[in-house]
Amino acid sequence: MPPNSSYSNPFPDLSLNAWQDTYTSLHMWTQIVGKIRLALSPMTNHWWQTTLYLTPRGMTTSSMPYKNEVIQIEFDFIEHVLHVQSSNGATRTIPLAARPVADFYRDLMDALHSMGVEVKIWTVPVEVEERIPFEKDQIHNAYDPEYAHRFWRVLLQVDRVMKVFRSRFCGKASPVQFFWGSFDLASARFSGRKAPIMQNARNVARYVMQEAYAHEVSSCGFWPGAGLGEAAFYAYTYPEPTGYAQYPIQPAEAYYHSDLKEFILPYEALRTSGAWDEVLLAFFQTTYEAGADFGNWDRAALEQSFLISPDK
């Protein structure tokens, strides 16, 4: 059992400065695993086939087809190992510990090869400024198990609340899923209408962004804060309708970031609120309303019109 595995506050301290190096290494590791999923999984709209999912112990690819079998790769942030499993019974375990990204990449590809799985990935990281190919990355080599565990615990809580929020919508909606490119946990709702062709793309192919934003979307999520300076929850609507930034969102600590074009709720404001679920749901709901109301979404058709009583 890792140190401090039980917290009185379900949202533990996650100061960016305290684990920036571990964050960067873990980001590269999840990109390697995510690119394996991208290579093996059939295409799904908005790239949903590439994402990772939360588990009671970490994050998983879920089952990926390979010939007549399926394989799965899972990060275990309790025992701090990476599990590679095949439906033919083969398993491999790789320790999660401080070492270069290049070593992690080599060990994972060797493990797959030893299990009879041959897969090639593009080894250049995406959606980051520093794009060292995985097999050459000797720079990023940190791993603090305590902060990796904390990050996962935060994701667990956000995943739980997001699933409540997602349940309120009966239109097209994404799973709650972890995007390894941007290193965030996200949930998206769609109006049902096509969106203008996305032209903005930074450190990622334009066609990737155009598929991701092919339809009008209201998205919310959580990320550790690279580029912002602190962990935060975010929400945005694409395309952003006129008046969106002026909508009276909740809670009071949330604000519109004019450079990011997103609403931001600092993680620390949520963490110290004491009413975690209520505050987070209010942020998700009011930022969704900002986009749906000003964007003229058919809310009556898209939102659940009933609640199921707990005793039924």
Q: What is the pLDDT of residues 114-138, one digit of tens each?
A: 999 999 999 999 999 999 999 999 9
Residue 306 CB partners (closer than 8 Å, separation 6+): none
* Sign of the CA dihedral with 154 first, then 260, 60, and 112 last: negative
**18 vs 142: CA distance, rounded Å:** 12
**149 vs 204: CA distance, rounded Å:** 29
Distance, first Cα to last Cα, the chain: 38
Q: What is the pLDDT of residues 226-244, one digit of tens each?
A: 989 999 999 999 999 999 9
Segment 55-80 shows an average pLDDT of 98
Average pLDDT over residues 85-105: 98
Spell out the domain ranges in the chain: 16-136, 149-302
Helix or strand (DSSP H, E) at 53: strand 53-54
Using DSSP's 3-state secondary structure scheme, residue 180 falls into coil
Question: How many angstroms separate the CA atoms of 194 and 168, rounded?
Answer: 22
For the segment 1-19, the average pLDDT, to the nearest whole number, is: 78
Strand 91-95 relative to strand 58-60: parallel, antiparallel, unpaired? unpaired
Quick: pLDDT tens for 20-52: 999 999 999 999 999 999 999 999 999 999 999
Q: What is the pLDDT of residue 202?
A: 81
Read off the tokens for 159. Answer: 């995943």
Q: For the chain, give the mean pLDDT.
A: 94
Three-state secondary-structure class, residue 10: coil
Cα distance between residue 153 and residue 5, in whole Å: 9
Classify burial at 308, counting beta carbons within 10 Å of its beta carbon; exposed 0-12, middle 13-18, buried 19 or more.
Answer: exposed
Q: Which residue has the tokens 């873990």?
A: 26
Mean pLDDT of the region 197-213:
89
Q: How many CB atoms lie within 10 A of CB 304?
A: 11
| pTM beyond 0.75 | yes
Do 262 and 232 meet the contact criterion of CB atoms below 8 Å apart?
A: no
Alpha carbon of 58 to those of 39, 40, 116, 240: distances in Å?
22, 21, 25, 34
Residue 279 has pLDDT above 80, yes or no: yes
- Residue 2's nearest CA partner among 180, 152, 108, 142 is 152
